[in-house]
Structure 1
Amino acid sequence: MDHTAADGYQPIDLSRIREIIGYPPKFIEEKKTSSLGEFARRFIAHSTFYVVATVNDAGQVDASPKGDPPGSVKILDSRTLAIPDRPGNKAIDTFRNLVERPGIGVLFLVPGVREVLRVNGDAFVTDDPDLLDMLAADGKPAVLATIVRIQEVFYQCGKALIRSRMWNPDPGLADALLGGANFYCAIGAEMGEMATAMGIDVSGLIDITNEHYETTLY
């Protein structure tokens, strides 16, 4: 295995971590539940962005961002969610992981709300046509659906979003990153390799990407 900068540091064990961090107050553990309460249902119903975390048999973790209008994730009962899949890059990383290991974590955000909702459990993928129709958006059924069997529900405090100014961001950050360019122009080397592989120039690849955003969201 190639050496990296990480090799210059030593890991510490759990006892040392606890020595530094300490233990949470009792109410932190008690706030975790195994089902959705009324407010958790409302939170999910208003969420427009969430992150789905899964892991494969080799222990490799994937975190996939998802976005949809409010109410797109369906609450089937207090311990079951249905998450729609929309047209994407066809990599199926999340689905492959769930077939190998059913564990799942979902982090829900609501624009303007500092706190987040975390849902953990196990999940599987289904192509049930009635469910896909229920999960339709823009008049089109979901491509597939992920059924989440909830094991743990809890809220995360707003410190992370406050520190990041998530809902009140610095408008200069995007310009600092992109230099005023299109994202795909900013990653020029990677774009050049992709365009060459597809037999087109970079401008053609940008046009394809923009058309994809406009016509295949659903």
Structure 2
Amino acid sequence: MFSDPSAPTGAASPEMLALEFSEPLGASAASRPRPAASPRSGRASEDDVPDPFVGGPDAARLPGSEGEHLLQCAYGTQDRAKRFYDDQVLDRLNEPMREFVGRMEMAFVATADRDGECDASLRAGPAGFLAVLDERRLAYPEYRGNGVMASLGNISENPHVGILMVDFVRDLIGLHVNGRASVTEDADLRQHYPELPAEVERGRAPERWVVVEVEEAYVHCRKHIPRMEPVSRTRNWGTDDVKRKGGDYFEARGAPRPWRVAEVGARTH
């Protein structure tokens, strides 16, 4: 038998639990309201529970997807979600956000191709490698890598990206930036922004940049962010030495792959 997912699992205070659960503790899943039909999807509703977001006067201005709005109604979190949208989500980078981006040393970047197949990657560098061009745009550099171009390939098909930056050291807080990305060669972007770093670290110069037009920017809660401590490390930027790059850490070399089977079959015909 599955446990009730709405039951508390920790020892948080009632005030904190109130932020996590929209219905009384112990309420069954059957007692939660179901979403109303969406005018855009035409789906029928099992119950006559109006969705305050989808198709209503707030639909044009609220951030987020139709799917998240419908689930907010289904699980009774629409009031809490609306409060978060109104209090924490911006369509630009304000001054505290720009300062935060400027001191970040890494960012997690999520992309998807035209079919929605996803990829997540890490971008890192010294503070300042993420460049805030203005309150509506930021850019991050692309360096010489493994040549796969997974993130850039996705962006060429689907410009929507999600970036998460986390301060694990000082303030234990995160910043989400969602928007539309484009790929620009280093020389082209530098014509308009000559102050961009030409060489972030010795032997590590950007080949091109990803410029992101900000559509949503909002905080990531600090509750579950672990505290970390920076340590010194020698980095071998730009190396092709297999061992220095991590070698075959996951022992993947030599394992069967479907595309290798196809290649062998093609050569035998």
Answer whether TM exceeds 0.5 for this pair: yes
Give the equivalent residue in structure 1 for 2:6: none
State the distance in 1 between where 2:83 and 2:72 align.
Answer: 21
Could you give the per-residue CA deviations for residues 78-129 of structure 1, whole angstroms, max 9, x where no partner exists?
A: 0011110122211101111111011011101223132100000101101141
| Match of residue 157 from structure 2 | 100
Contact 1:122 1:150 in 2 (8 A): yes
Structure with the larger helix share? 1
Structure 1 unaligned regions, length at least 5 = 1-11, 169-182, 195-218
Matches within 5 A, 1:27-46: 27-30=83-86, 31-46=88-103
Structure 1 stretches of 4+ with a deviation exceeding 3 A read: 12-21, 130-133, 183-186, 191-194
SS at match of 2:84: helix
Q: Which has the larger radius of gyration?
A: 2
The question of whether the paired residues in 2 share the 8 Å contact of 1:184 and 1:191 is answered with: no
Provide the identity percentage. 25
- Say yes or no: does 1:126 pair with 2:170: no
- Shift of the 49–128 alpha-carbon distance from structure 1 to 2, 3 Å rule, reads closer
Listed as ranges, the matches of 1:19-168 within 5 Å are 19-20=74-75, 22-23=77-78, 24=80, 26-30=82-86, 31-112=88-169, 113-129=171-187, 131=189, 134-135=196-197, 136-139=199-202, 140-161=204-225, 165-167=226-228
Provide the C-alpha distance between the structure 2 equivalents of 1:47 and 1:79, rounded to a whole number of angstroms: 18
The one-letter code of the counterpart of 1:147 is V
Distance 1:66 1:21 in 2: 37
| Alpha-carbon distance between aligned partners in 2 of 1:152 and 1:87, rounded to the nearest angstrom | 29
CA-based RMSD of the aligned residues comes to 2.8
Cα gap change, 1:87/1:128 in structure 2, threshold over 3 Å: closer, same or farther? closer
- Residue pair 1:46, 1:110 contacting (<8 A) in 2 also: no
- Considering Cα pairs closer than 8 Å and 6+ residues apart, tell me whether 1 or 2 has the greater RCO: 1
Count of residue pairs brought into register by the alignment: 166
TM-score by length of 1: 0.66
Structure 1 residue matching 2:224: 3-state secondary structure: helix
User: Which AA in structure 2 matches 1:44?
Assistant: V
Equivalent residue letter for 1:74: A
TM-score w.r.t. length of structure 2: 0.55
Deviation at 1:16, TM superposition (A): 6.6
Question: CA separation in 1, counterparts of 2:188 and 2:255?
Answer: 42
Shift of the alpha carbon at 1:160?
Answer: 2.8
